[in-house]
Amino acid sequence: MDRLLTVRELAERLGISAGTAYHWLSQGRLACVRLSSRCVRFRESDVEKMLEQLAQAPERDVSNRKQS
């Protein structure tokens, strides 16, 4: 059985803030386990899969962005 991570643990693993984690959750970018209407946890295996996907994603080239 997977270990369930708190928002803080998830944020530390992904290198994001807790606020970003909640934002991604509201956008549907993160799968969660709801323990109550205000309490969520994240499966460790889902987080590991996300880390693998982020590691394999090509970096975006932002050098051609328009500068103001």
pLDDT tens digits, one per residue of 10-62:
999 999 999 999 999 999 999 999 999 999 999 999 999 988 888 887 776 65
- Domain borders along the chain are 4-55
- Site of tokens 């969520």: 40
Q: Which of 11, 13, 12 is nearest to 22 (CA)?
A: 11
Task: Name the architecture of domain 4-55.
Answer: Orthogonal Bundle (1.10)
In whole angstroms, give the CA distance from residue 2 to residue 15. 21
Q: Where are the alpha helices (DSSP H) in 1-68?
A: 7-14, 18-27, 44-56
Model's pTM, two decimal places?
Answer: 0.74
